[in-house]
């Protein structure tokens, strides 16, 4: 690298020297041209004078210096090219050497890493060897302990074997003594049997049969007495406990009930609105009834119209629709259809909300959404004037209280009671009783078998086989049977009681009949000379079946047949 610098400096100096010589020659030629001694007359031009002037003294020197400088410059350039090639080769060799040095450094680094890994592996191998030696030492120690214990056990076994041999000898001697003693006892027993048979006149088998028969008779008598006592105690205690539980449950629950009707009243701002509701030639009222499926009754009632329909859901949709139409004031067929669609969506939302509120009220956290919506539809349905949804919530609370008293699953009993009448929301859409329809609906939407059975058995259409089904029946009867829960007109009430007594009096052997407990119990007095105990049972069943076939009533009716015999004598 320093040699290249010197070459460059020499080239630059030579170039500078050539430039200075050229400048000196130009100045000399100018000064010669401007001198007055050598200047010709002013006629000819300056260029002509320069062409005709004689050569100066410096020309040979300049020419010689120029040739020398050119040859030196060429030599310097050749030398610079050679040195440049050498520098390029040196640079290339230096780069290769540097690359080799980097490769060597990388190889050295890899060798260091390999050495570190080797040392780590060697350390791990040494650690594993140490652990294996430690384990082998522990195993060797354990084996030594086991060998010691085995040696001790062999000594004990040898001692026990000697003891067993001694006992075997003693037992053999004892067995011989027992055999001889048994033979003596058998001879004595045979002699006694012979004496007993001779004295009693019976063989041993005959005597055994008489003893067994006597023992069986006594055992049967004792078993019958115990069974009767248990049944009597169970009946008395069960009835007492049932009355106590039901009275406690009823006292703990206070429910409100408002009877419902099959008509809805819509208030109007004025009687002139009735004409707008009717429309031109009655087109509005016809469109309203055709769209909603509800009868719109317009009479002389001031500022009010009536909506009549057996389906409370349709009636509620019609009520909301009519109230919105009256409030808006625009009443025409297309407007009626639009408002009806919005009202239907609103009622569906209210049904969903009512179902969710019922679940929250009874404490049930999860249920299929379709069941929740169907449950909410019962908000607009009533049974004998009792709102079905409120009846279900009340029944669920009663079932939960009964389950608490009996120590049963509260959540299961409340769920069955809450869903037992869910089929009433579908009875106008699906054929069958509401119990069977509701059970099938619950089964399709994932309710467990105990819940489904409680639903289908709460009216005895299916024989109840679980305690939860019985509790559902009890809660349903309590909720529907309490005073004020359900209503009947006075005339229908009186006619039903009279018909109950007529059905019972039509049977043979009946003396008197009393309908009691608001028609929920029928007491039939029979003639003891005509009707015996077995016929009394048959009579009670026949009267109950006839009542089921001929009458419609809420809840249940208990039929009691009383057969009483009296003997009278006069003491004088």
pLDDT in tens, 344-398: 999 889 999 999 999 998 888 889 999 999 999 888 877 766 788 888 998 898 8
Pairing of strands 304-308, 263-267: antiparallel
Structure tokens belonging to residue 148:
């010691």
Percent helix, strand, coil in the chain, to 5, is 70, 5, 20
Residue 42 is predicted with a pLDDT of 45
State the Cα–Cα distance between residues 388 and 420, nearest whole angstrom: 11
Mapped onto helix, strand or coil, the DSSP state of residue 310 is: coil
pLDDT band for position 455 (50/70/90)?
A: very high
pLDDT band for position 157 (50/70/90)?
A: very high
Question: Which residues are paired to 383 by β-bridges?
Answer: 386
Contact 316, 378 (CB under 8 A): no
Structure tokens belonging to residue 497:
């009681």
From the list 59, 104, 484, the residue with the least C-alpha distance to 257 is 484
Q: What is the pLDDT of residues 211-268, one digit of tens each?
A: 788 888 888 888 888 888 887 777 776 666 666 666 665 555 545 444 445 578 888 8
The better pLDDT of the pair 369, 28 is held by 369
Mapped onto helix, strand or coil, the DSSP state of residue 67 is: helix
State the Cα–Cα distance between residues 392 and 28, nearest whole angstrom: 136
Enter the DSSP assignment of 483: T
Q: What is the pLDDT of residues 87-130, one digit of tens each?
A: 778 778 878 878 888 888 888 888 888 889 888 998 989 999 99
Percent of the chain residues topping a pLDDT of 70: 77
pLDDT band for position 406 (50/70/90)?
A: confident
Q: Tell me the CB-side half-sphere exposure of residue 73, using CA atoms within 13 A.
A: 14
Residue 37 is predicted with a pLDDT of 40
Contact 414, 396 (CB under 8 A): yes
Residue 261 burial (CB count, 10 A)? 11
State the Cα–Cα distance between residues 46 and 38, nearest whole angstrom: 12
Q: Pseudo-torsion of CA 58, 63, 65, 71, nearest 10°? A: 180
**Per-chain mean pLDDT for the chain:** 79
CA angle 116–118–122, rounded 5-degree value:
115
Residue 138 is predicted with a pLDDT of 92
Average pLDDT over residues 542-553: 86
State the Cα–Cα distance between residues 535 and 530, nearest whole angstrom: 9
């Amino acid at each position: 690298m320093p040699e290249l610098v010197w070459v460059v400096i020499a080239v630059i100096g030579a170039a500078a020297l050539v430039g200075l010589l050229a400048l000196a020659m130009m100045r000399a030629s100018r000064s010669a041209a401007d001198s007055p001694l050598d200047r010709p007359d002013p006629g000819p031009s300056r260029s002509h004078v320069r062409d005709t002037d004689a050569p100066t003294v410096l020309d040979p020197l300049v020419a010689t210096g120029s040739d020398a400088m050119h040859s030196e410059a060429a030599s310097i350039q050749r030398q610079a090219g050679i040195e440049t090639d050498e520098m390029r080769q040196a640079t290339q060799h230096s780069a290769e050497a540097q690359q080799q040095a980097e490769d060597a450094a990388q190889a050295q680094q890899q060798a260091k890493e390999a050495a570190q890994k080797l040392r780590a592996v060697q350390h791990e191998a040494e650690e594993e060897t140490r652990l294996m030696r430690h384990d082998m030492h522990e195993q060797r120690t354990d084996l030594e302990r086991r060998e010691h214990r085995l040696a001790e056990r062999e000594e004990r076994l040898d001692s026990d074997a000697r003891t067993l041999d001694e006992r075997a000898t003693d037992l053999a001697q004892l067995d011989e003594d027992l055999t001889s003693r048994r033979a003596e006892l058998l001879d004595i027993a045979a002699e006694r049997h012979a004496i007993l048979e001779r004295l009693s006149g019976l063989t041993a088998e005959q005597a055994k049969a008489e003893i067994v028969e006597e023992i069986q008779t006594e055992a049967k008598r004792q078993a019958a007495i115990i069974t009767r006592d248990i049944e009597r105690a169970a009946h008395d205690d069960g009835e007492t406990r049932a009355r106590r539980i039901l009275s406690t449950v009823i006292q703990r629950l206070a429910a409100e009930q408002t009877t419902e009707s099959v008509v809805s009243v819509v208030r109007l701002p004025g009687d002139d609105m009735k004409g707008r509701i009717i429309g031109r030639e009655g087109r509005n009222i016809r469109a309203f009834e055709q769209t909603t499926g509800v009868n719109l009754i317009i009479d002389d009632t001031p500022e009010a119209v009536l909506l009549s329909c057996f389906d409370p859901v349709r009636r509620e949709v019609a009520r909301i629709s009519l109230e919105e139409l009256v409030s808006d004031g625009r009443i025409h067929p297309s407007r009626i259809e639009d408002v009806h669609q919005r009202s239907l969506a609103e009622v569906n939302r209210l049904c969903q909300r009512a179902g969710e509120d019922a679940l929250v009220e009874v404490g049930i956290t999860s249920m299929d959404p379709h069941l929740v919506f169907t449950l909410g539809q019962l908000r607009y349905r009533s049974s004998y004037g009792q709102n079905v949804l409120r009846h279900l919530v009340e029944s669920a609370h009663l079932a939960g209280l009964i389950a608490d008293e009996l120590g049963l699953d509260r959540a299961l009993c409340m769920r069955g009671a809450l869903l037992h009448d869910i089929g009433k929301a579908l009875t106008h859409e699906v054929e069958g009783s509401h119990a069977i329809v509701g059970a099938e609906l619950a089964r399709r939407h994932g309710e467990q078998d105990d819940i489904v059975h409680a639903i289908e058995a709460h009216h005895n259409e299916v024989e109840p086989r679980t305690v939860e089904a019985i509790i559902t029946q009890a809660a349903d009867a309590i909720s529907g049977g309490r005073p004020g829960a359900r209503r009947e007109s006075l005339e229908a009430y009186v006619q039903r009681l009279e018909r109950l007594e007529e059905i019972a009096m039509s049977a043979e052997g009946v003396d008197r009949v009393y309908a009691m407990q608001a028609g929920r119990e029928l007491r039939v007095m029979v003639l003891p000379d005509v009707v015996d105990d077995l016929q009394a049972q048959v009579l009670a069943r026949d009267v109950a079946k006839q009542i089921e076939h001929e009458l419609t009533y809420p809840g249940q009716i208990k039929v009691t047949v009383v057969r009483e015999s009296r003997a009278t004598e006069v003491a004088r």
